[in-house]
Amino acid sequence: MSITIKKLGGMLGAEIYDVDLSANLDKTQIADIRRALLDNLVIFFRDQNLTDEDLVRVGKYFGELAPLPPHRQNPGSQPEILVVEKKPNDKLNFGYEWHSDTTHLPIPPLGSILYALKVPRYGGDTMFANQYVAYETLSDSVKDTLDGMRAIHGNGRIMRTLEDKVSPVRGQEAVSAAWSTDTSSHPIVRTHPETGRKALYVNIAHTQSIEGMEINESQPLLQMLYEHSTQNHFTCRFQWEKGSVAFWDNRCCQHLALNDYPGEHRLMHRVQVKGTKPI
């Protein structure tokens, strides 16, 4: 059966219909979904009813799954699944700043698949931003400046806001030490390995500095890129429902989880598909 695609926004995003992800997909469906992802950067499915095993199977259609470090694994769930949860009394949420996932790793994921188990009565949307267009709308002089530049990415900034959630598993000092030394260097402009298009590849949550510069020297240029890359007209916004699934291409889009649902409960499960080294 062929899939039905409905565009969500002019810059990126599409909803996919006529697909039951709890059933085994055939090669044509898998190829069509992958094509839709490449064309739209982020795709969404509604009204799905998935077990953890289903979510892992769906992820594996698109490549090997990225493993979670032991202190991020949740007892009782599949080892590849990250539990993303904000409880009613929590003040901070996971992914509250614009970012591409885990760019502190030497080989960040191709993409992430997020499944909604419980959503707040209001709020909790996710924003996505097209990083192809972010690069293409830079001036030629800025493009020339960025050519060949690399940036250092780390995880200390984003993990500091979550230590209270993960420290009971290993202890706060151990978690802090593990993340504070976890850095990688990536090109500021990366070429997508499947489409060949160039995309801006820095984000405020993980990017620390420009390689070869001090942090304070790097910040003016990086701050300009952060602001440029997440302008409203580069974005789309997805309103979650229970059973919704989002699959985004981590190589060419950023995302942000809005923290506008105080006192509400939001629970998601996520898997990530392994990527290739950014070039």
Structure tokens at 124: 């909790």
Which residue is catalytic, options 34, 192, 251, 270?
A: 270
pLDDT score, position 76 = 65
The rounded distance, in Å, linking the Cα atoms of 73 and 182 is 18
Say whether 101 is catalytic: yes
Render pLDDT for 204-263 as a digit per residue (tens, 0 to 9).
999 999 999 999 999 999 999 999 999 999 999 999 999 999 999 999 999 999 999 999
Kindly list the domain boundaries of the chain, sorted by start residue: 4-273
Q: Is a pLDDT exceeding 60 seen at residue 166?
A: no
Task: Name every residue whose Cβ is closer than 8 Å to that of residue 188 and which is 6 or more positions away in sequence.
Answer: 146, 149, 150, 151, 200, 201, 202, 210, 225
pLDDT score, position 78 = 81
Output the pTM of the full model: 0.91
Say whether 192 is catalytic: no
Is 100:108 a contact under the CB 8 Å cutoff?
A: yes
Which residue is catalytic, options 192, 251, 255, 269?
A: 255
Four-way CATH pick for 4-273: 3.30.450.20, 3.60.130.10, 3.40.50.980, 3.30.70.580: 3.60.130.10
Say whether 269 is catalytic: no
Which residue is catalytic, options 32, 101, 186, 190?
A: 101
Say whether 270 is catalytic: yes
Which residue is catalytic, options 34, 99, 186, 206?
A: 99
Structure tokens at 157: 């900034």
Q: Is a pLDDT exceeding 50 seen at residue 170?
A: no
241 exposure class (CB count in 10 Å sphere: 0-12, 13-18, 19+): exposed
Structure tokens at 251: 């190589």
